[in-house]
Structures are given as C-alpha cells and as structure tokens.
Structure 1
Amino acid sequence: MFEGKNKLAAIVAGLTLGLSGFGALAATLPTIQPAPAAGAPFLGLGAFDLGALGYVVEEYFISGTATSYKLKGEPTADGAWTAEPAATAPYATRIVVVRPKEPKRFSGTAAVEWLNVTGGVDAGPDWTYSHREMLRSGMAYVGVSAQKVGVEGGQSLGGAGMPLKKANPARYGTLVHPGDAFSFDILSQAGEAVKRGKVLGSLSAKHVLATGESQSAVFMTTYVDAIDPLARVYDGFYIHSRFGGAPAPETAAMRGGPNAKGPAGVLMRPNLRVPVMTLISETDLIGSGLSGFWAAQQPDNDKLRIWEMPGTSHVDNYMFFIGGFDNGSAPMDKIAPLWKPTDALFGAKMAKPINAGPQHHYVAMAALSALDSWVRAGKVPPKAPRLDLTATASPGDTPKLVLDANGNAKGGIRTPWVDAPTARLSGFGNTGGPFGFLVGTTEPYDAAALARLYPGGKADYLRKFDASLAQAIRGGFILKADEPEIHALAAANYPGG
C-alpha cells in the first residue's frame, strides 16, 4: 500500500512538472510603453480619416525576452510538428492599434496582423483588403512588426526597403529585433499585450484573432503547426494567400531561401486547437514560381476551412489603387474608375493589365467575418468547392487550372466576376517590375464576345450579374452589406457604359 502511495505521488508530481513545463512555454506579457506622442505611426492605414469613422490610432512599443523554437525531428508534410524552446534574446518592437473610440461600438474581437515585409517595409495587406468589414463590425485592429526586415531592414522584393529605424530614427531608434526565428514568440507576446496589456484603452477583447497575408501567412502556417500548441494565445487564425510550404521555426526562411528546408507542401496539423480560415487565390494555388498551395490542399474539418477564389491574383487593383482610399462611403464615380484595368505599377510597366477583379476584396471580408462568427458564436463557415485542376503526369509536375469557355477558372467560390464576366481574370501570366509575378492579368472581352454573352446588352448583363451575386451571398461567400455597392460598381463599369 505504501508503495502504491509512492507511485501515486510520483504520477502526481510528474503531471505537476508537465503542466509547469507547459506553462513555462506559454507566452509572456511583454513590457508595454506608449510610443512618442509626437508624430504618427509609420504604417499605411489609408488616406482617409479614421477619427471621422469613430476610431482611434495609437502605437505602443513592446519589449522583453523572446524565445526561438526548434522542431523535434524533421518538418513533415502532415504539419503534425512538435516544437521546443531553443534560445532567448532581448527584443523591442512596436504594435499599432486601431480601436473604436466608444466602448459600445466594440464587438469584442481584435484582429492582430503579422505585418508583411515582402516589399521591405511594414505593410498590412489584411487591413487593406478587409478594413471596411473591421470598421463597420466594430472590431479592433492591431498591426505587429514581427519580422526583422520591418524593423532593421534586410533582403526584400522592394530592394533596400524602408524599415522603421530608417524611416524615423528618432521615433524607432531604440527598437531591436534579434531575427526572424524569434518572430513567432513576438507574435505570441503581442497577442498577450492585446489580451492583458490594456493596449485597447478601456476596451477588453473577448476574442483575439491572428491574421497574416502572403509571406506572413507562410510563417503563420508554421506558427499554427508548431507554436500554437505551446503558446495557446489566439482564438482563431486567418491565413490569407499562403503558398505550399512552411519553414521550420529554427530556419524562419521561406522555402527556396538559403536557410529553408522542408516539404513543398505542408498541411495544417491534424489536431488544430482553434478554428483556422484559409483564403487562397489562383496565384497561391499554382505558385507562380513559388511552391503552390495545390501541394498543401487537404479536406476541411471541424476546425479548418479552405476557400479558393477563381479569377483572383495574389495582389490586385484593390490592394494597390483602391484600398488606401476606400472609407466605405466614397462616391461610386470616384471609386469605379480605380477598378479599370491598368498595366502601370510603381513606375514599372507590366506586360499586361494587372488583375482588376473585385472578388478578392469582397470574399476576403466575408472570410474574416466568417472566422469571427465561428470563434464568437460557434457558427461554422460554409464549405467551398475547390478550384478544378488538371491531372499531373508525374509527381514533379505542377497542375493547371481547368478553364471554362470564357477563359476563366472552373470550380472554387463562384462570384459574378467569373460567372457573368466581362474579362478573363487570372492569377498569373504577367511580368514587369519586382511584383509582376504576383499581380495576375485582366484581358477584357471584345465587343463581339460581350454581344455573344449578353445579347440584351447592359440590362442582360446586370440581370445575370445580380443572379450570380445573390447566389454568392446566399452561400455565405459575399456579405449582404456589400450587395448595393457591388451592383453599383457593375453598372458603372460595364464596357461601353
């Protein structure tokens, strides 16, 4: 009996040590200080007045000791990764907070974006694509300078770039980033700052979502597979426009980089802790020279939704020309011309006009809203059909999209821009400048093609457009609140008036 008590004591002690060890891996609350009052945060939030929309913009410096991680074993394609702490280093970075002025307007949800540094500067593509939904639904937004390039500078598609310490040395000169291997824990600590650090003023977040687009989405795939089981900070993840691979946390490099390793396609881990919404464009799926998401496709499950969008590119007209001016109430005669196809981008001439399909923007807002409802109320988002792909002859081949008679992709989330089209919209096929491989193409139909599709002219077009739009709204892939604007945009931009 005494021996049995000793065994029981040993088991209890082991469980206690195990729980204690797990707690030691959980995220810590960083030191939080307001940024200097003078000046504004260096982050493109748009050329519209957030104050007039009932929001406050604030910036905080967060600092402390960050932990890097390493995998136990090699990174596997199934995403069932087990990580452990590797090293520690001091850090100091910043977060930018956009929150409602009035507590009664706050929905209780904060969206925390891993800022994207592909262009050599902190950018918030999820803010740009989805700020309209964040603002009208009463979310708070927090942008996190998680990666070294955004703080200190380094290699990027944008060349030398504009890191914080170069953009404003007086404001950001005290920031220190020890390297991207520590970015995962920095994201965790930023989440803790939102949950427990009073960075939302008098507001208290009931639900905290992590978001990231492009390179950030690739890193967040690693975060979900390896770090989230330990950190347990976020209530849901919005992974937007990832490609196929994901780096091991110790390398913290995009696949194809000098320190990257691992399979070309990495799935979301089989036992997800919280809901994950993944949104994929054509560019992401096929890869456009990078590892395509097609190699990481997997069925939806009780905590995973994957939405694939035909006729979309990785970035498009809305990202470059519209999102920064779109306050939700701009007159249609000001907004509609910005959607017209153009081949000019940042001083470079593209081989073809870039993708001008509006669906990426509108579906992105629906995806974020769906994740929010999933986390807040347990309302599971609809499942979406996947884009149709050709069969591959050998394991090394890349599949192609299956196209319809009008040249647009079959399958995926159907929207009026591909089911009542006025152009062929693609996620690839362009060149020019550093971003040409990501911007896709728009090839407007000629008068003969439009007459064949819409023999009754504009009225015929709008009837078919509105029918497709209504179906997308019923399916849960476009928000009802956007219906009037979408109809007005279609009427304004029909070729020939």
Structure 2
Amino acid sequence: MRTWAVAAAGLLAGLSLGLAQPALAAAPTPTTQLVTAAGSPFLSLGTYDLKALGYVVEEYFISGTARSFKLTGEPTADGAWTAKPADTAPYATRIVVVRPKDPKAFSGTVAVEWLNVTGGLDAAPDWMYTHRYMLRSGMAYVGVSAQKVGVEGGNGIGGTAGMSLKRVNPARYGTLTHPGDAFAFDMFSQAGQAVKSGKVLGPLKPKHVLATGESQSAVFMTTYVDAIDPLARVFDGFFIHSRFGGAPAPEMASMRGGPNARGPAGVKLRPNLRVPVMTLITETDMLGSGLSGFWAAQQPDNDKLRIWEIPGASHVDNYMFFVGAADSGSAPIETLARLWKPNDGLYGSKMAHPINSGPQHHYVAEAAMAALDHWVATGRAPPKAPRLELNPPEKAGEAPKLALDGSGNARGGIRTPWVDAPTAKLSGFGNSGGPFGFLVGTTQPFDAAALARLYPGGKADYEKKFDASLAASVKAGFILPADEAEIRALGAASWPGG
C-alpha cells in the first residue's frame, strides 16, 4: 500500500510540474530529393574508402515547413520544461546518408547526428568518434545540417571564417534556405521522420533511430530532450556527447546565444525521460574551461539515463583532429601509434602544450554508442559508471576541482589503461593557442625518472599493468571487446622509446 501511495504521489508531483505534456501530431515527414549532381557532399567523413567497406554515401535535400517553439515558463535547472509551438517558416536543408549497401548487412539502427557548426561549417564529430562501431555493427548514419551557420554562413569559433554549404558550393547548395536556429529543433525532428519513413535509406528498413550530438550540438540536444522530445516523439534514444552545463530555451537558440542564453548555468535532463539517454562527459566538459561546467548539471542515473565521465580526456583531442579520419578499422598499429603521438600544431596554430593524446575518449565513446544501441534494442540498461571525483570549491561561487592522483591524473570516472597505467599526465585543461586551444587539453609525458618509479620492471611491468586495466575496463562494459586486441597492441607500441 505504501509503495502504491509513493508512486501515486510521484505521478501527481510530475503532473504539477508540467512534465506530462500532450504529444502534438507527429512531426511531418518532409519532402525529400536525392542529390544527383556530380561531386560529393561537403562533409568530412574520413580519408578511407567507405565503398570498399560495403557502404554507400548519398545526399538528400529535405524541405517543408518548420515550427519554432517557446517555453511556457522560465527555463528551470531541473529540465522539467514545457514548450509550445510558436511561429512557422519554410526551410530547405540537406542530410548526408551513410548506409550499408547490402540490406542483409544492416543492423536496423540509424544514428542521426545534429551536425556541429562551431568551426563555421558542418562537422560530424560523433561520426568521427564512433564510426568504427557503426561500420562493424552494420548501423546506418545520417548527418543533418540543422543550424543556420552550416547552411547560410557566419563565423565560427574565435571569428574563424565560415565555410557554409552555400559559400563552398553555391551551384550545389544555392537553393537551400534556413529560417534560423529557433526552427532547427523541428527541422531535426523532420529529418528524423524522413529516416523513420525509410524514404532516405534506399532499400533499408529502420527499426531504431537514435539522435546524437557533440559539443555545441549536445547543448542543443539537451534543449531538445527537455523541451521538444515530449512533443515530437521521433527518436528512440539520445546520445548527448560532451555537453557543458547550460542549455538555451528553444526560442533563444542560436550559435551566438551560447549554452547559458536565458537560463541557469546548470540544466539537468528532465526527470521523466521518455526514451533512453546516454550522456558522455570529459574533464573539459565537467569544469567548463571558461564555459558553464557540467558539474552544475550533474544528476543521478535512473532507468532512462546513464552518465559516463572519462578521466584524462579532453573535449576534443588527437583522435578528432589527426587519427579518426584515417581510422578505417584496418590501419596498421604502427600508423595509429604514430598518429596518436603528442602534437602541438593544429590548423596552422601552435598550442602552448601538446594537445591531449589519450585514446580513451574515442574507445569509451564507441562503447557508449554501442551501449545505447543495445539499450534501445533490448531494453537492458548499460552499466552505471563511477563519477569523476571532485574537490569542493575553495570559495563560494567558484567551480570545484578535479581530485588528482599521485601522477597528476584525475581520480574516479571510467578507468582505462591510460590513467591506470599512465606514461603521461593527461588533462582536459591547461592549453592555449588558436581558437580551439581551450578545448584540446594537454599531454605531459613523464620523464625517465617518473617512468622508472611507476614501472621498476620497465616495459614488461608497464604492459602487465596496462593489460590488467584494459581487461577490467572490458569486463565492466566501458571498452568494447572488439577493440581489446587493438588497444593492447597500441599500448605496447606507445611505450616511450618503442
């Protein structure tokens, strides 16, 4: 009797908070048009041959009438937002489809990415970090030009010149039109409907459609989950990757509005999530690196939420800039080890320190995507992960700080060989140089004396500790078994001095 009463009280409390929103009519399926013009879509997917891996790349224009939304109240920190439609506007944007050619090779899952425009152009960081899992599991991928900067133009981070679709190829993209980021949420919903309908997947029949977004896109994905998903009900799960603390009200959404536009610095995901949500956080995201830190938005896991936090990882790193584009799944270990080596140059800028070269962000991101895929397909939730250990702020109003071990690496979180058997201090902070310096973290290799203290037996001692940590990470579900052999070989090849 008491259990029933508690459940009833919780339901009534949810209703009083405006959590039970009536669903609108499903987001309309837009008009779709396969792009048959010569040339390739303007989107970096890697330098390897997707055709040789059994995949087809196609581009579609999608068009229709999009709605904007506005909150019925203030954007509260608990994420229990209620939104309603506001204005309408015509739009025409594009999506890029990467799908198995053979329907028998298709797993049934499609990942739909809100493309990132921080650099002033469409980029696909979630494809870059997790494509290895998508390709070997038979997933399909769709990148959506959701924001105005990617279509119409505008400067990126640090004033970098934009490379919008209409600027780089007006002959191909000149007919596209974007009414503004307030309409991006419904445009993304309609792209999801186009995928669910099967109209843009050739002969493939989708079973599950996941929404993904990294960095700025993850901030907008937070707004989507809190305000739009209860109305649209398009996606079967969400991968929110490297968000910060805040999230804008949907009517305030813009690239320049920032994650704190008319809202608290820390915005949690709504308490009654409709579908599973996987959130992946690095050190940079946790403390913010000058932006609102995720520490202010932390919340416990529940039956529809998992939050995984990665020590020693930065918001973006060597994999994003140097490794991922060449990582077909068959690159020699020697090539991967060379690409992973610390590098202090980025897009013509010299960083103050080598950027973060820890591979854990990539490998854990793959495991997170796989965990969400299986969660949606089977209903079995992924493992809960330990959280990063934080020391309280020294002064009121300041952010907390990471608790560090004797090697200078962060305590807690998802343990991997690169922090349990380290050869360097890996951080999500402390760099500068160029527009991306505050996001790329640092690598500080240990000197010979430090390595000798950690590994009295030299390389053999290091490999023993590395392998033990790796086996524990795989057993815990935070690294995929399919990556284990590669990681072990990469660890051996990465020992200082070879």
Q: TM-score, normalised by structure 1?
A: 0.94
1:109 is matched with which residue? 109
Letter in 2 for 1:208: V
Residues in 1 aligned to 2:296 and 2:162: alpha-carbon distance in whole angstroms: 31
Show CA shifts across 1:275-324 (max 9, x none). Answer: 00000000000000000000000000000000000000000000000100
1:139 match? 139
Residue by residue over 1:405-460, the C-alpha shift from the partner in whole angstroms, topping out at 9 and shown as x without a partner, is 00000000000000000000000100000000000000000000001111111111
The answer to whether the aligner puts 1:62 opposite 2:51 as a matched pair is: no
Deviates further, 195-204 or 243-252 = 195-204
**8 Å contact 1:198–1:204 — kept in the other structure?**
no
Alignment of 1:373-412 (within 5 A): 373-412=374-413
- Matches of 1:123 and 1:325 in 2, distance apart? 16
CA distance in 1, matches of 2:236, 2:377: 9
Task: Say if 2:404 is the partner of 1:416.
Answer: no
> Deviation at 1:492?
0.7
SS at match of 2:95: strand
- 2:42 is aligned to 42
Per the TM alignment, residue 24 of structure 1 is displaced from its structure 2 partner at its CA by 4.3
Counterpart residue number, 2:271: 270
Q: For 2:166, what is the secondary structure of its paired residue? A: helix
Cα pair 1:246 1:254 within 8 Å, conserved:
no
- Deviation for aligned residue 1:392: 2.3
Amino acid at match of 1:65: T
Note the C-alpha offset of 1:36.
2.8
Aligned residue in 2 for 1:6: none
Question: Deviation at 1:250?
Answer: 0.2
- Once the two structures are superposed, what CA deviation does each residue of 1:21-44 show, in whole Å capped at 9, x if it has no partner? 956443110000111331110000
1:146-174, Cα deviation, whole Å (9 max, x unpaired): 00000001232162210000110000000
Per-residue deviation, residues 357-392 of structure 1 (Å, max 9, x unmatched): 000000000000000000001121000011010112
Amino acid at match of 1:456: G
Mean alpha-carbon deviation: is it higher for 158-167 or for 116-125? 158-167
> Gaps (5+ residues) in structure 1?
1-20
Conservation of the 8 A alpha-carbon contact between 1:253 and 1:259: no
Let me know the Cα RMSD of the aligned residues: 1.3
Q: Give the superposition deviation at 1:468.
A: 0.2
Larger radius of gyration: 1
Paired residues for 1:221-370 under 5 Å: 221-253=222-254, 257=258, 260-370=261-371
Measure the CA separation in 1 of the matches of 2:441 and 2:63. 39
Give SS of 1:250's match: helix
Q: Does 1:127 align with 2:127?
A: yes
Q: Counterpart in 2 of 1:89? A: 89
What is the percent sequence identity of the aligned residues?
A: 77
CA distance in 2, matches of 1:160, 1:341: 27
From the superposition, tell whether residues 254 and 169 of structure 1 become closer, same or farther in structure 2 (CA, over 3 Å).
closer
Q: Is the aligned partner of 1:159 residue 2:160?
A: yes
Q: Mean Cα displacement is larger for which, 215-224 or 190-199?
A: 190-199
Match of 1:13 in 2: none
Q: What letter matches 2:412 in structure 1?
A: G
Distance 1:256 1:113, change over 3 A: closer
Contact 2:64 2:90 (C-alpha < 8 Å) held by counterparts = yes
1:355–1:439 contact (8 Å) kept in structure 2: yes
1:474 is matched with 475
Q: Which moved more, 1:450-459 or 1:387-396?
A: 387-396
- Aligned residue for 1:338, secondary structure, equals helix
Match of 1:32 in 2: 32
Q: State the alpha-carbon separation in 2 of the partners of residues 410 and 258 from structure 1.
A: 27
**Residue equivalent to 1:14:** none
Q: How many residues are aligned here?
A: 477
Deviation at 1:258, TM superposition (A): 11
Partner of 1:435: 436
| Secondary structure at 2:120 match in 1 | coil
Unmatched runs of 5 consecutive residues or more in structure 2: 1-20
3-state secondary structure, aligned to 2:91: strand
- Name the amino acid aligned to 1:217: A
* SS of residue matched to 1:121: coil
SS in 1 for 2:404: coil
Aligned 1:8-27 pairs, distance under 5 A: 22=22, 24-27=24-27
The residue correspondences of 1:155-194 to structure 2 (distance < 5 A) are 155-157=155-157, 159-194=160-195
- Return structure 1 stretches of 4+ with deviation > 3 angstroms: 21-25, 253-259
User: In 2 relative to 1, CA 260–394 (structure 1 residues): closer, same or farther, beyond 3 Å?
Assistant: same
The alpha-carbon deviation at position 254 of structure 1 amounts to 6.1
The residue aligned with 2:4 is: none
CA–CA distance in structure 1, aligned partners of residues 198 and 409 of structure 2: 48
One-letter code of the match for 1:440?
Answer: G
What is the rounded CA distance, in whole Å, between the counterparts of 1:228 and 1:258 in structure 2?
Answer: 19
Which amino acid in 1 is paired with 2:404? L
One-letter amino acid of the counterpart of residue 212, structure 1 = G
Q: Distance in 2 between matches of 1:304 and 1:24?
A: 24
Q: 1:258 to 1:196 in 2, by over 3 A?
A: closer
Return the TM-score normalized by structure 2.
0.94
SS at match of 2:32: strand
Any conservation in 1 of the 2:99–2:141 contact (CA below 8 Å)? yes
Residues 1:402 and 1:255: Cα distance change in structure 2 (over 3 Å): farther
Tell me if the contact between 1:247 and 1:254 (Cα under 8 Å) persists in the aligned partners: no
Question: Helix, strand or coil for the counterpart of 1:351?
Answer: coil
Q: Does 1:489 align with 2:490?
A: yes
